[in-house]
Structure 1
Amino acid sequence: LSYPHNPTAAIAPISFFQQAVAFCQKHNLVLVHDFPYVDLVFEEETGKKRAEEAEGAQGEKPLLDRHSPLAPSILQADPDKSVAIEFFTLSKSYNMGGFRVGYAIGNAKLIRALRQVKAAVDFNQYRGILNGAIAALTGSQASVKTTVDTFRLRRDAFVNALHRIGWQVPTPKATMYVWAKLPPAWAEDSIEFCTQLVETTGVAASPGAGFGKFGEGYVRFALVHNPEILEISVERISQFLHSA
């Protein structure tokens, strides 16, 4: 599992995780939860909570309680760590993409097994990256709030621009993505839509079919540019839709 979710930006409630944990306990299954977007939640009450944590950090206090009311941790549903293990990466919250650094918390047997696999498959990052990760986790969390605010501005600019051209997409409550249902003319070929879009306009999107058969009929937009560029991209999308 992975919520907040890529590509759909969906958020799962704690009740969903409780059902998943109960199912895995009943059938003796391991429950793995990838949690990279826990901080990229845009609701105001969550933003206020994060700001208060950042102000109280003062460069020393670690931000250990990562979950929010809207983005619960799987370990809230499995506090005894009976079947669950959860992964967090510093790539999103701390802009450390490419450094390949993160951590896992969960069932002790699973952690030991993970350590054995990691020892055989690869090696640790060099100490400079590890020291950077320690500084990120134990220092002021103000930069995390800045990152969230940045993606909120991008989300609002992009979604509002799509609405203005008549493409009604839901406003995501989390992540750095917009999951958009394709117009009827393209509903059965997201790959062709994305291919023609990038060839014609230079705007790149990910076809929903690339995420599995149930993704067909959708595209994923990544909010990786500033609001001005995102609004220009929507203008080009509008021209493409009217010319197709």
Structure 2
Amino acid sequence: MKLLNRNTLILISILLVIGCKSSEKDKKDQSFTFIGRNDYTINSYNGLAYYRLNKTKKFMDGYYVVGSEMTKWEEFEFKEGLLNGDYIVFHPNGEMSSQSKYSNGKKHGDELLYFANGVLNSKSTFKNDVLVGSKYTYFENGKVQSESKIEDGKPIETQYFNILGNIVAQSFIKDGRTITQKIVEGKIYSEMVSSNYDTYETIKFYNEDGSTKIYLQRIEENETMYILELDDDGNEIKRVDVKANPQEAMKYAALFS
């Protein structure tokens, strides 16, 4: 029994020494710097965000982990105060919320957003802070919810899908106008057209055979709002003064929404 107690004490002593050394190594780990949520300040110069440590007033440099004893909120990498590398944000449950790539303070590479359960929510690609390529959003089951083609940093064409993978809507830009179509069972149910430069706005609903069911336009003339009913060629066949005929106007207005 004495021999057993002696061996047990020796084993405990060894484990304590190893544990102390391990803790000491963690504290001296130079691969990242651990800081609190309010330990840094962001200032903007010439369109770039510069990060400084509040305590030293110096630009942040290297890899930092932001958190507390119980929670980790962010991880990011810097070069002379500018984000340069990974920028990771976490959900309260510890799952990754977003991961972005930076180069000299500008987004450069893929940006991934995640649901709280760890499933991918959206994927975008940036080049020198400008959105490029395609952008995708996803349902929580992993299927594509929308896909957008990007040009000059903006989506020029987008398709929307239901959870079964069927197209339910699509939008695209043509002649300076954004056209948004709602699709039901493979056919266009409605089409809204809005100008990217002025207040032009119309909406058209279709019958199952593709013929026009109703064609409407909203306009403002002399500080008075009207809803027009149009024929297939866009000619006015009826005009409703929104203020003078609110009940009738509301029926038309509901179609726009």
Which category describes the TM-score, using the shorter chain as reference length?
under 0.3
Which structure exhibits the higher relative contact order, with contacts defined as CA atoms closer than 8 Å and separated by 6 or more residues?
1
**Normalising to structure 1: TM-score of the pair?**
0.20
- Which structure: greater strand fraction? 2
TM-score normalised by the chain length of structure 2? 0.20
